[in-house]
Amino acid sequence: MTSTAAGFAAAGRRRRKLASYAVLLTALVVLGVTYAVLAPRGHAASTAEESFAVQKGRELFQTSCATCHGINAQGTQEAPSLIGVGAAAVDFQVSSGRMPLARPGPQADRKEAKYDRAQIDQMAAYVASLAPGPQIPQVDLADGDLQLGGNLFRTNCASCHNFAGSGGALTYGKYAPRLTPATPVQVAEAIRTGPENMPVFGPSTFDDHQVNSIVKYVDYVTRSKNPGGLALGKFGPVPEGLVIAVVGIPALLAMTLWIGARA
């Protein structure tokens, strides 16, 4: 009697064990199917594309940039390390034609860009893969506030670039360039990466709204027509005063003399 009871009990335990295995199995299958359905698609493909870009970027870098910046972008006597400068610095320097540097001098000049969009993106991806750094900024001009941008520009940028963005000389043969040729993205990149003597204005100085506002102001002031007539190079009050002194006052004098002579 007791042995049959024990037999039933053992069979029951086995059945319960089997049942719990079945539940576990079903749960795993359900989990797997749910993951397959909900998992973000194309993830594997995009990382593959990214590493392809990094690989292509490394090849381009080694042929055109490594002589100065070092085989692993670590820097040499000729040029600074690019580890941590981010995609934004590469995009700014190469899309504005400053890099690759043609010849050493006090400053890298803006030139015709030597690489196309895809190649620039690849080199930027390579440098960004070395260490984290500023990303290529997403500019949203619609988000910018022109008046705020104007105020920020006059207090932070005009001392070097002039209030109308027409540029100015600095010391040691360096200069702050005219901002007209810069695209909105390049303006934001210059703000974020601070090329050459220009200070870096990071996210703790300007948030994205402030950057959008400055970019909007630069776009406005460098592309606006001159409603007041001749702009005289927008160099400000000194040339304007000079033109008044050299042209305006003699003209008035001549007119007075002429009127006096007739009277």
Q: Which is nearer to ligand HEC, 83 or 240 (CB)?
A: 83
The dihedrals phi and psi of 107, each to the nearest 5 degrees, come to -160, 145
Return the CA Rg of the chain. 33
| CA–CA separation, 59 and 56 (whole Å) | 5
Three-class SS state of 95: helix
Position 136 contacts ligand HEC (CB under 6 A): no
Q: End-to-end distance of the chain based on CA atoms, in angstroms?
A: 149
Site string for ligand HEC, 138-167 (x = CB under 6 A): ------------------xx-xxx------
Site string for ligand HEC, 9-48 (x = CB under 6 A): ----------------------------------------
259-to-31, 176, 254 alpha-carbon distances in Å: 100, 48, 9
CA torsion sign for 32, 34, 39, 41 is positive
Q: Is the omega angle on the peptide bond into residue 100 within 30 degrees of 0, that is, cis?
A: yes
Position 99 contacts ligand HEC (CB under 6 A): yes
Candidates 37-45, 132-140, 173-181, 244-252; binding stretch for ligand HEC (CB under 6 A): 173-181
Residue 141 DSSP symbol: G
Three-class SS state of 101: coil
Position 198 contacts ligand HEC (CB under 6 A): yes
Position 76 contacts ligand HEC (CB under 6 A): no
> Minimum distance between the CB of residue 246 and ligand HEC, rounded to whole angstroms?
31
Binding site for ligand HEC (CB under 6 A): 64-65, 67-69, 78-80, 82, 85, 89-90, 93-94, 96, 98-101, 107-108, 110, 123, 156-157, 159-161, 170, 174, 176-177, 179, 181-182, 186-187, 190-191, 193, 195-199, 201, 214, 218
